[in-house]
Structure 1
Amino acid sequence: MFDLIMKDILGQPAILVGLFAMCGLLLQKKNFADTVSGTLKTIMGFVVLGGGATILIGALDVFGKIFDKAFHIKGIIPNNEAVVAIAQQTLGTETALIMVFGMIANLLIARFTRFKYVFLTGHHTLFMACLISAVFSTTGMKGASLVISGSIILGLLMVIFPALLQPYVRKITGMDDIAIGHFGSVGYLAAGFVGSKFGNKEKSTEQIKVPKSLGFLRDTSVSMSLTMAVLFFIVAPFAGKNFIETELSNGQNYLVYSFM
């Protein structure tokens, strides 16, 4: 029975995250319908995320083989979605625990220190939990030590990064009521410093007019799909039609396979 609970139930990341969501809904005193709905939606969302991760890993694996054949070098794709996909498959339970306990650590730090920042950007919290679990696991850490240390690091990052940018947020918005919850804050901090020295406060990027014909590029999924298609089309001819159709596409035209 213990093995059933620990391995088959709590060992499933989707169920684990769903249970934490249920606890949160119960603490908010939500009614039965909202609790069931919220719990199931959380579980389904995590399952869908895992499915997307599998698709992404498959696409990156194919691209790596084509790139290797074309240029005879091992390509590295510095993409956070790739890390998320791999961590979801290999360290799903650890990632889920680091995410949940990292959020708890964030709340405790915000409650008992002067850093009153609560990080609400959920998908970035997941991204960082995946990254931390992947990096820490390469050092040999596992189990409780991985989860505890990862949760503490995540909780600290969730208050430090908003605090770094708050002087610029205060200057731009004129208030202290909001903060930026994003783990790209070091880059934004550098941009803010450069902008404060060389920028023009009278001109805003919001004033830049983008042609309506290119408006579809604002959609992240569309722009990402086009970018991947272009990369495949560039690399595929170098790998060769015969290699792709015999080794990868099972006879499908190599250009059509690259697009799909």
Structure 2
Amino acid sequence: MDFIQLIISEVFRQPPILLGLIAMLGLLLQKKPFSDVVKGTALTAIGVLILTIGTDIIVSSILPIQNAVTSIAVDGSGEEVAGSIDILADYGGAIGIAMMLAFLANVLVARFTKINHIFLTGHMLFWFPYIFVAVAVENQFSYTGVIIFATIASALYFIIVPALLTPFVTAVTGDRSFTLGHPAGFLAITAALIARVVGNKERSTEDLQLPKSLGFFREVAITGGLVVFIVYIAVGFTIGLSAMDPETDMTLFTFALTNGLTFGAGLTIMLSGVRMVIQQILPAFKGISDKLVPNAIPALDAPIIFTYRPNAVIIGFVVAMFVSTALIVLINTQMSLAFLLLPLVVTSFFECGTAAVLAEGQGGLRGAIIGTVGAAVLMVVLLAVSIPIFSTTIADWMLIFGGNDFSLFGWFANLFAGLLGG
């Protein structure tokens, strides 16, 4: 057990190390020279680390907005949303074991069936068992039952959802070199299906015509930074700068500009890491698909797709923020829920940005916009129906990071858990 926990904590929960080892295995299976193996392994790990750093910078640049709204919501409700069960502290071992077993099940299915992708998004390998362990705990399963339930549920997700996403990813990338392993899954599928019906492929988000004087908007880092700057100004005037950062000595303009520039820098770093990972992991993975798991493809983190339609990512973020926030305000003011919904800033960027990219692949600019509207509405609905499921465990965590496959599959898992009983 100590060895298993060591592997889980030192490999599976460390995406740069996990992807680096996968690249090394693929290169060794191709009998590449020692120099190429070292180079490919190191650059893959470095690329994943760059991607992760960029993602962390993006999250840090928009988190004050989330914190401001969260503080208002908590103060208004007068009590914490979640109960006293600490899933990470009390069931960390169960999460780790479920993660390992579910990953092995995914590899076996990829080896012996036609569902031949391998889920390689390291942090999501952890968070899905986290969700399903919480479901089992809420339904009062025994410790062994918690592990079994979370393993089966996680394995089903790792196996099924990336397979469903594959044709939509292929429509964007033009080849079947990878798919996505990310909780954007059903939001992205929903947006893509809507776009297929109402969209128009003849006009792409990447072909937007701008006057020469506005040519700088073609730089996604500048456009994204400007969007975040405007959002900060709007939130600052509505809620106040102190709600976002009570310790800052900056003016609202400077605070907004700094975070907008930080967002743009994070986006630039993240996309640089994405390009490096694509250049290294896909050729290296060929060794695994040729020698170990025939025709296997990796299921990777959502930002991997962002370089293919960067304008769509920003459009998706803006549309999702506007639509979801308006709907959340409407629900909070017109419905008597036992909790307050919070604007999903992080989910709007990563999940709905992904949804917009896949929708663009089905229906161009119009499809990206309308598809993201549908995804944003679904995001809010999923959040609302999933919060009561986790009332004594991770409801507060879900309020910030839910509204995606965490919510949807948590809800499905809860239905089955209720049938099985503790």
TM bin (shorter chain): 0.5 to 0.7
Match of 1:188 in 2: 192
Letter of the structure 2 residue corresponding to residue 210 of structure 1 = Q
Match of 1:238 in 2: 238
Aligned-residue Cα RMSD (Å) equals 4.7
Match of 2:202 in 1: 204
Distance 1:209 1:44 in 2: 33
Deviation at 1:59, TM superposition (A): 2.9
Deviation at 1:234, TM superposition (A): 1.0
Match of 2:227 in 1: 227
1:21 partnered with 2:23? yes
Alignment CA distance shift 1:252-1:96 (3 Å)? farther
Alignment CA distance shift 1:28-1:240 (3 Å)? same
Alignment CA distance shift 1:129-1:98 (3 Å)? farther
Q: Which one of 42, 45, 53 corresponds to residue 47 of structure 2?
A: 45
Distance 2:125 2:133 in 1: 12
CA distances 1:78-136 after superposition (whole Å, capped 9, x unpaired): xxxxxxxxxxxx9x98999699768746744xx734x7x7699x8xx679757645543
Deviation at 1:46, TM superposition (A): 2.8
Assess if the C-alpha contact under 8 Å between 2:103 and 2:158 holds in 1: no
Q: Which one of 131, 136, 139 corresponds to residue 135 of structure 2?
A: 139
Alignment CA distance shift 1:256-1:8 (3 Å)? same
Q: Which one of 150, 156, 160 corresponds to residue 156 of structure 1?
A: 160
Letter of the structure 2 residue corresponding to residue 247 of structure 1 = P
Distance 2:164 2:5 in 1: 39
Match of 2:250 in 1: 252
After superposing the two structures, state which structure 1 stretch, 40-49 or 140-149, moved more: 140-149
Deviation at 1:232, TM superposition (A): 0.3
Letter of the structure 1 residue corresponding to residue 163 of structure 2 = V
SS at match of 2:73: coil
> TM-score, structure 2 length as denominator?
0.40
1:65 partnered with 2:63? no
Distance 2:127 2:245 in 1: 36
1:112 partnered with 2:110? no
Q: How many residues align?
A: 220
Alignment CA distance shift 1:23-1:205 (3 Å)? same
Alignment CA distance shift 1:253-1:238 (3 Å)? same
Q: Percent identity?
A: 20
Letter of the structure 2 residue corresponding to residue 16 of structure 1 = L
Alignment CA distance shift 1:206-1:259 (3 Å)? closer
CA distances 1:219-254 after superposition (whole Å, capped 9, x unpaired): 43332222111100111133345x3698231x2233
Assess if the C-alpha contact under 8 Å between 2:129 and 2:150 holds in 1: yes
> TM-score, structure 1 length as denominator?
0.60
Deviation at 1:158, TM superposition (A): 2.3
Match of 1:35 in 2: 37
Deviation at 1:29, TM superposition (A): 1.8
Alignment CA distance shift 1:38-1:59 (3 Å)? same
After superposing the two structures, state which structure 1 stretch, 13-22 or 127-136, moved more: 127-136
Letter of the structure 2 residue corresponding to residue 234 of structure 1 = A
Letter of the structure 1 residue corresponding to residue 224 of structure 2 = M
Letter of the structure 2 residue corresponding to residue 189 of structure 1 = L
Gaps of 5+ in 2: 75-91, 138-145, 259-422
Assess if the C-alpha contact under 8 Å between 1:102 and 1:154 holds in 2: no
Distance 1:191 1:96 in 2: 34
Assess if the C-alpha contact under 8 Å between 2:98 and 2:150 holds in 1: no
Deviation at 1:191, TM superposition (A): 2.2
Letter of the structure 1 residue corresponding to residue 68 of structure 2 = I
Distance 2:230 2:98 in 1: 32
CA distances 1:178-229 after superposition (whole Å, capped 9, x unpaired): 699564233222222345xxx7xxx821596512444443443332222111
Letter of the structure 2 residue corresponding to residue 59 of structure 1 = S
Letter of the structure 2 residue corresponding to residue 239 of structure 1 = I
Distance 2:225 2:49 in 1: 22
After superposing the two structures, state which structure 1 stretch, 156-165 or 10-19, moved more: 156-165
